[in-house]
Each structure stands twice: as structure tokens, then as C-alpha cells.
Structure 1
Amino acid sequence: MDNLNGAKPHFVLVPLLAQGHMIPMVDMARLLASRGATVSFVTTPVNAARIKPVIDGASDAGLPIRFVEFKLPCEEAGVPEGCESFDLLPSVDFYKPLFEAIIMLREPLKLYLEQAKPRASCMVTDYCNWWTSEVARELNIARLVFHGPSCFYLLSSRNIHRSKVYERVADEHECVVVPGLPQRIEITRAQAPGWLADWKEMQGRVMEAEEAAAGVLINTFQELESEHIALYIESTKKMVLPIGPLSLYNKDAKSKATRGDKPSVEEHQILRWLDSMGPRSVLFVSFGSLVKMRPLQLIEVGCALEASGRPFVWVIKEAEKCAEVEKWMSEGFEERTRARSLVITGWAPQVVILSHRAVGGFMTHCGWNSILEAISSGVPMITWPHFADQFLNERLVVEVLRIGVGVGIKIPVFHPEEDRVEVERGAIESAIASLMDGGEEGDERRTRARELGEKACKAMAEGGSSYGNMTLLIQFAMEQAHNGIAD
């Protein structure tokens, strides 16, 4: 714990209500509190219930974190009651209403900040929560933006937007070169249209709020993206602090297992199964909290896993395991793969699994949290992007860092209406063989992944780059208090 002389900083963290956005900010809250800062973490009743073990653990450890629960106005915004996170919504039709419900938290947040003791030194808010910029300005509180995605994605998106490169191509599937990068990276408008591209007004507000922010925090580390971080700082002219991988705050098995939600299978059962497998022999397959595969594609994945002959852990969402999938699994798949498979329906403790010595590869949707967790464990990846930042993250993993193999997906798929196969079993099986075997190329890929994992751990340890940046963050907040912006 840091010895904080003088005013003790009070951080107020306002995440977006989405699992991939909340999880790293919960880690940030605990990390700040462990270093002596007071933290208020804004959430809602349903989301607080999902992270109850984390809340209880913070309380037991005596960490100065207040989990502040605001009632989300679901009914007023037209959101189904209890659907307080994007992964809980029954369809994408409710995405915009949920955003509108979150914006309605403006007044409760302002009231909390007006009454908070000690007064907030600094707000750290998800970049999507543009409305917090207005609150910060009205109450004269310094505001920092937190970005969950990679700096490579942030820089690429910024350069694409500013150069208007997409305006020079008529076909959304035509490749363009991303301007201003150290490497030649090609992408299509369909693969990387820009977050919130369909909601121009909101996109504009998000960008304005970021320009007004005092600085930017990114869940990455200097040694992973040094060139891109330098270019991003040059472009934004802001204080930019890489403070990750935040997942590495979780060092013991219990804290790893309780990140995000209650696991569907007990941690000790998973560990016992993994303990029975050889080192680096298991492929872990999981596609995040939002991606929902249709039955035909899910079955195609299962067929490829069976044909690969390798041990695997496969996470299937409750919403994916329909009667058709269950029928297919019961008609031989379960029996034929029983000796080498662990199928988890629901939420899985991903960091627990990735950090186990038996795991040698990870098939992922390329969400940045998942990529960072794999990198932190030194695990190479099979990349299967679907939407948002994921295609650019794939380019970073496969083409820049060279620690991944793509399945060959070209067309983004968010929530497919049709039950069709986007990637056939042969391509999936080929990617598995390339990653898990791969000869000399595979050995080099595994070596690079392992070296990055070691660098990630050093970055978060005392004396490391991210540790130092967290110190700078705490000093920044203390200066706000000292200068009278906070009491």
C-alpha cells in the first residue's frame, strides 16, 4: 500500500453497464484502493449482485471501496426490468434504450458527488459515458476517460476518422490501408466502421467529451504497444497512462474465479480436470459475453473440436444451448469426446482457465479483455472476430504481435438473423492444428506469447511501467485535492 501523504484522493469510477467494460474497472477500483485511495464505484442492483463475491472480498480485505448502487430507470427508458447490462438484453433492439436509461443516472450521480465526503478528487468514466463530462464540468471535478480497447484500436480508429479514408471507397468490403501506423494494416469499413457508427449524435457527444477530458487511461501496457501509445499521445496531446493488464491484479484463485459473474461450474472442478491434462495440451474456446452463435455455427465448432483430437474446454452460453444443439451433443458428441472435453454452459472463470499450465491455446472473439488475459498468461490465440474493435484487435494479434492464427472470417456478424455457417469446420480444424502444432512457426509463436506474458507481469509489479503509471494517476488526483478542486 502506498504511503499517501497529505490529502487522500477519492476516485469515482463510472463504468458502462456491460460486462466487458465493468470487469476491468472493478479491477481498477480494487487496485486503487489497495494503494491507499478511496474509491466510489457506481453500479446498479443487478450488476452489484453479479459481483457480490468481489464486493464481499473487498469488504473483508478492508479496502476503502464504496459500491454505490443507483436504481436504473428501466421502465422509463423502455428496457425490460432486470436487464441492467447489455449482455442481459433479449435483443439488440434494446441497446439504445439501455444507453438512454444509463444517461438518466446523471442526476443521481450529481447528487451523490455533491454530498460525497471526502469530495471527489477525480472521476474516471467509461468513454461511452459522455454525459459524465457535463457533471464533472458543473461540479469542477477532474475527469479522465477510461478506454477498455487496445491502443492500437484507438489510434487506428482515430486516424481512420480524421483522414476520412473510408469516404474514398464505395464498397464497404474493399480494403483500405489504415493511415499513420508503423505497420501496413488493411481493414474494410464493414470490419471496423467505428464504435457507435450507427448513432452519429451519440458518437459526436462521446468524441466531444473525450476532447474535454483531462487525460486518458488505457487497459494495456507500455511494452506491448509502445509505438502505438507514443503516436496516440502525439495525436491527442493528452496525458495518456497505460495501466494494465488490470486482470493481473487478481493473483489468487478465488479472486480470479469471481471476476464478472458467478461461475456455472465450481472452480475446483475445473482445476481438477485441467490438472489431469498435459502441459499446454488444452484448447480453451470462449467467445465473450455478447457474441451469440446460432445453432448451425455452434455445431460446426463442436465438430471441429471433435475432429482435432485435442483436449478442450468449451464455453457455451445459456442462450446458445437450444434444443437443436442439445440434441446434437447427446447423439454422440458428448460420449465420443468425454475423456478429453469439459463443456461449460454459462459463465466460466476465464482467467483461472487461461492461467493454468495445461492450456496451450485460446479460441477467442478478440475482445480486448480476453486478448489481454491470454497475453498475461502467455497463451497464443485463434482469432475469430465478430464486430466493434475485434477485427482491428485481430490485426494486432496476428500481424503485429504475431501470436495468433485467424480462422479466416471476413464479414462481421453481430447477432445473425439466419441460422447459417460463417466458418466451416475444416477451416476451424485447420486453425486449431496450426496453433497447437504449427512446427517451427508454432514454436516461435508460443515463445513470443510467453515473453509477452512475462513482460505483462513485470509491468504490473512494483517498479514496472503500469505500476509507475498508476502512481502518476494517484499523484494527479492528489494534486487536484491539494489545488482546491477537491476538499
Structure 2
Amino acid sequence: MAPAEPAVAAATTTTATLPPPPHFVLVPFVAQGHIIPLVDLARLLAERGARASVVTTPLNVARLRGVAEQAARVGLPLELVELPFPPPGSGLPDDCQNADMVADNYQFLPFFFALPELAGPFEAYVRALATRPSCIIADWCNPWTAGVAKSLGIPRLFFHGPSCFFSLCDLQAANHGLHERIAAGGDEDQHAVPEVPVPVTVTKATAPGFLNHPATEVLRDEAMEAMRTADGVVVNTFLDLEAQFIACYEAALGTPVWVVGPLSLCNRDVESTASRGKTAAAGRQQAITAWLDEQAPGSVVFVSFGSITRKLPRQLFEIGHGLEYSGRPFIWVVKEPEAAAPEVREWLEALEARTAGRGLVVRGWAPQLAVLSHRAVGGFVTHCGWNSLLESIAHGVPVVTWPHFADQFLNEQLAVSVLGVGVPVGVTAPVMIFDDDTVAVPREDVVRAVSTLMGGGAEADGRRRKAKEYAEKARRAMEKGGSSYENLTQLIESFRQSGGKEG
């Protein structure tokens, strides 16, 4: 690992003349898709000589212990900070400290409305520091940080996890009253998103935005206000992928947009790629790698749908049959709660027997970044969460798009219609996170999409070529002198003189 630039300067400059390193406090929303990129950002900041503190709940700190230990071994100033959660009286179980621990649809509202209770412990932590942080970088879904930052006079950036394409569409929809027009229209009406540089249409079901449910409207209003009053935004993307959307977003927002991705590329060794987000059991990681090593380059389709949504048996069976009938080698990640039912457990065992040597079912957590970076993987069936989609692009892997909710339908439009690296599976409406008994995608559509993605012909070859070209551009963006590398340099320098005030 290269020594941080301030450390090099220290060799030739007296300590008395050096400004203190900036201290960034990062506050991710408590869900894997939000925590992972901000932890990557914290590592990059620390590698570049800044101090980085990641503030989250005890469960997430425990999951990230390997990251902290790895940073400590190489002397990086990266720390994890625990805030108590859930608060007394919330009605949530003690271990409900991450969105993937929410047990059913009825727990989601109490979970979201309990999160602002973190403001008190967070302010106490910041006040107890010897000097004020230089900057707070808080997830868009954590507007409760805005009041703390304002009361203590600390600059605040927000981090928005989706693509810049989505963020621009969401902002323009809010600026031009699109949500109100959609609400007044019919379910099948098509609505154009205004002032976006490419044509974008949405329906009531696929409208942009987080927290769009009427019960969470107050939370969305708070998040939008915190966004508009922030000193800027940090986005996990890169210039050569979304240049036109980045420029429009910065103009519409009226504050700096710091584009510093793909953040996943900071994971450059086997330990980092294998343990990103969670640590897979050593035996499981070795088994996955050994299985992939036996497959032909670019032959395997990887299937994974993020950390939250859980599919019922009927949909699982359709996915499994589709993968079997496609005839392609596959790795399929099935969540532990999904695989717990006896009928599913027995069915998966039978599927594995029928596809022995060609199919691998992973129950529970899989090291996604390690899988996507393996030479054998040639396609990815994804829910279109931005982390997953960007990781796939950054490793030159085209995708089958199967969006589930939130930003994912617009991310699909970006991948398929703008970037040309995706094949849609055909869904047109979101699913419930739990207990959705509809079969959104039958096996025939799985076979069609996988075969189209992994097959030959000019269109398939074009998708693979574009994905490889974007991967090379992503790699260059993160190297010294690249657009994202230099943006991170400017971000650090912008806050080098901030903070330092006594706590």
C-alpha cells in the first residue's frame, strides 16, 4: 500500500508547520448497500492521510471488525464507532440494527422511525471529541445528522447511494411536481421525467424516489430538506460512466458533486474482496473459488438479489428451473431465511444433484466482489441495486436486470437503454420485501434473459465489449491522476482547514 501523501510531506517539513489531517465522520444508513460503499470511502480517505470514523450500530461494527483490524495492521487512521440501537420503547428486537435483520413488513416503519433517535448519541460522540471533525458525510437516508452538524458548526456532505442518473431524475421529479402528477394519474400512465438529458419515462409503480410510501412522507420531506441544505454530495460513480448526468445534477442541486467511484475498486487484495460487507466462512470462500476455477472463462452466470428482499418458494422454484433449463453454468445465492423451509431445502438439494458440476447454490452470504472479479464469470442476474450494478460494470460483466424497488427501475434504464450493458428480465412493478406471493418472473423469462445475455451474436458481443470498455475506464478513474482519484484529492484538501476547533 502506498504511503499517504501527508506522511511523505512530514519527512521534509517540520511538524509545527503541518496542518492537522482532516477528520471525516461517516454516517451510513444501516443497510448493507449503504454501509459497504461508505466503508470503502473511509478506507480511501484513510489511505490518503485523512482520519476516518464510521459511525453505526453495534451489530454493524461487529460485522465490520475485519475491516478495522486490517486497517490497524497497516496503520490506517480508520475507526468504527458504536451508537446504541434500537432505542427503548421502539418495539424492535435488540438485534434489529440493520435492515437485513427486519423480520417482516410490519417492522419496517418502526425501524425507520426509530433511526432519528440516534441523533442524541451521535451528538454526544461528536461533542466528546477533542477537536471538532472537519466534515460529516451522512447518508441521504440519515437527515437526523443535519441538526447535529448545524448546531456544532460542522460542514456536512450527504452521500447518495444510487446512480447519478437516478439522483438527477429524483431531484427533477421533486423540482417539477412530478410525484403529484403521477399520484393523480392512472396506474398505467407513462410520465416523462423533465430536464434530464436523455428520454426517461416512469409509471406510478416505477416513479423515482425513496420513502415514497404515504406513511413515510414526513421522513422523505426531512431527507429532501437535509439534501438541499447540505454543503455538497458524494456520489459513488465515475465521470466516464455518467458525465452528462453528473453535470446536470450539480447544476440542479446548486452545490458541489464529488464523484469518487467506483469505490469497490479500493478492494485490491484477496482478503478485502472476500470479506467486503461481511466475512464469509473460510471454507465457503475456498469452495466457491475452487468451483469457479474449474469453469471456462466467461461461462458462469452469477445470480444474487441483494441483502433485503426475500422470495417465497414459488418464485425460487421458477428461478432455479430457469437456471437449470438455460444450460449455462451458474452460481445462485439464496438467503438463509429463503432456504430454511423444508420444501425449499429439499428442492435445492435435488436441483444441485441434477446440475452437479454446472450449478452451485450458495446459502447465505456470498463474497460478491470476489465472484464478480473471477475470470469465469461472464454475466450477472442482479436486482439493480447500484452497488451491485456498478461492481459488475467495474469488472466488465454485463447484466440481466431484475429490479425490485426504489432506485432499481431507473438503474435498469441506465444499464439497458443508456449504457447498453443489460438485458431486462421483464418486470414492470416493484415487489414487497417480504411475503410477496406473486411470481413476478416465470422460468421462461429467466431462460430467455440468461440465454440472451450469455449467448453469441452481435448484440451480446456488443454488451460484453461495452462492459469491458467501462471496466477499463473505471480502473483508470481510480488510479493516480484519474478523475475519481483527483476528485478525492480535492475533497480532502477542501476540508483540510476545517475542524480542529476544541470539542
Using structure 2 for the length normalisation, give the TM-score.
Answer: 0.93
Residue in structure 2 matched with residue 317 of structure 1 by the alignment: 335
Query: What is the aligned partner in structure 2 of residue 26 from structure 1?
Result: 39
Could you tell me which of 253, 265, 279 is aligned with 1:262?
Answer: 279
Tell me the distance in 2 between the aligned counterparts of 1:416 and 1:92: 6
Task: Report deviation, 1:337.
Answer: 0.3
Q: Distance in 2 between matches of 1:278 and 1:59?
A: 38
Deviation at 1:486, TM superposition (A): 7.2
- Does residue 54 of structure 1 match 2:71? no
Residue 71 of structure 1 corresponds to which residue in structure 2? 84
Residue type at the aligned position of 1:327 = E
State the match for 2:101 in structure 1. Answer: 88
Counterpart for residue 174 of structure 1: 189
- The whole-number CA distance in structure 2 between the counterparts of 1:470 and 1:367 is 23
Aligned counterpart in structure 2 of residue 303 of structure 1, from 317, 321, 338: 321
Confirm whether residue 154 of structure 1 aligns to residue 172 of structure 2: no
Aligned with residue 364 of structure 1, among 371, 379, 382: 382
The 2-side partners of 1:168 and 1:129 are apart by 27
* Contact kept in structure 1, 2:304 and 2:382, CA below 8 Å: yes
Kept in 1: contact 2:310–2:435 (CA 8 A):
no
Asked if structure 1 preserves the Cα contact closer than 8 Å seen for 2:138 and 2:158, the reply is yes
Q: Distance in 2 between matches of 1:418 and 1:352?
A: 30
SS of the equivalent of 1:432 reads: helix
Q: Does the 8 Å CA contact 1:366/1:390 hold for their aligned counterparts?
A: yes
C-alpha change, 1:153 and 1:253, in structure 2 (3 Å) is same
Structure 2 counterparts to residues 41-440 of structure 1, below 5 A: 41-169=54-182, 170-198=185-213, 199-263=216-280, 266-321=284-339, 322-330=341-349, 332-415=350-433, 417-440=435-458
Cα shift at 1:461: 0.8
CA distance in 2, matches of 1:136, 1:250: 30
Query: Are residues 1:13 and 2:26 paired?
Result: yes
Amino acid at match of 1:437: G
Relative to structure 1, the CA distance from residue 97 to residue 464 in structure 2 (aligned partners, 3 Å threshold; closer, same or farther) is same
Letter in 2 for 1:192: A
2-structure distance, mates of 1:233, 1:304: 42
Q: Distance in 2 between matches of 1:185 and 1:381?
A: 20
Give me the whole-angstrom Cα distance separating, in 2, the residues matched to 1:22 and 1:434. Answer: 33
Tell me the distance in 2 between the aligned counterparts of 1:329 and 1:344: 10
| Aligned equivalents of 1:59, 1:84: Cα separation in 2 | 25
RMSD: 1.5
- Give 1:74 shift: 4.0
CA–CA distance in structure 1, aligned partners of residues 409 and 381 of structure 2: 14
Structure 1 pair 233/485, CA: closer, same or farther in 2 (3 Å)?
farther
Partner of 1:468: 486
Q: Is the 8 A contact 2:131 2:501 kept in 1?
A: no
Deviation at 1:474, TM superposition (A): 0.4
Secondary structure of the residue that 2:138 maps to in structure 1?
strand
After TM superposition, the score normalised by the length of structure 1 is 0.96
Question: Given that residues 383 and 394 in structure 1 are in contact (C-alpha distance below 8 angstroms), is that contact kept between their aligned partners in structure 2?
Answer: yes
Counterparts of 2:141 and 2:5 in 1: how far apart (Å)?
A: 31
**Shift of residue 114 of structure 1?**
1.3
Change (3 A) 1:146 1:485: farther
Contact 2:352/2:360 (CA < 8 Å) preserved in 1?
no
> Residues 14-39 of structure 1: CA distance to partner in whole angstroms, max 9, x if unpaired?
11111110011111111101111111
Q: Which amino acid aligns with 1:77?
A: S
Counterpart CA distance in 1 for 2:151 and 2:501 is: 12
Distance, in Å, in 2 between the alignment partners of 1:486 and 1:357 is 51
Which residue identity is paired with 2:199?
A: R
Offset at 1:300?
Answer: 0.3
Structure 1 residues 328, 268: CA separation in 2 closer, same or farther (over 3 Å shift)? closer
User: Hey, what's the Cα distance between the residues in 1 that align with 2:420 and 2:391?
Assistant: 16
Whole-angstrom distance in 2 between the partners of 1:416 and 1:38: 39
Aligned equivalents of 2:212, 2:393: Cα separation in 1: 29
CA displacement, residues 419-449 of structure 1 (integer Å, 9 cap, x when unaligned): 3311111111000110001411100110000
Give secondary structure in 1 for the equivalent of 2:362. Answer: strand
Please say which of residues 369-378 and 268-277 is displaced more in the overlay: 268-277
Work out the CA distance in 1 between the residues paired with 2:471 and 2:208: 31
SS at match of 2:141: coil
Aligned length: 484
Tell me the SS of whatever aligns to 1:179.
coil
**Contact residue 236 and residue 259 of structure 2 kept, 8 A:** yes
Which ranges of structure 2 fall in alignment gaps of 5 or more residues?
Answer: 10-17
Corresponding letter in the other structure for 1:78: G
Q: Percent identity?
A: 47
Question: Could you tell me which residue of structure 2 aligns to residue 453 of structure 1?
Answer: 471
Give secondary structure in 2 for the equivalent of 1:480.
coil
Task: Please give the alpha-carbon distance, in whole angstroms, between the structure 2 residues aligned to 1:389 and 1:143.
Answer: 24
Contact 1:166–1:176 at 8 Å: present in 2 too?
no
Structure 1, 376-385 or 332-341: larger mean CA deviation: 332-341
SS in structure 2 opposite 1:339? coil
Classify 1:210/1:418 alpha carbon distance in 2 versus 1 (closer, same or farther; 3 Å). Answer: closer
Deviation at 1:193, TM superposition (A): 4.9
Alpha-carbon separation, structure 1, partners of 2:417 and 2:390: 16
Instruction: Say if 1:168 and 1:104 are closer, same or farther in 2 by CA, change over 3 A.
Output: closer
User: CA offset at residue 92 of structure 1?
Assistant: 2.5
- Structure 1 spans left out of the alignment, 5+ residues: none
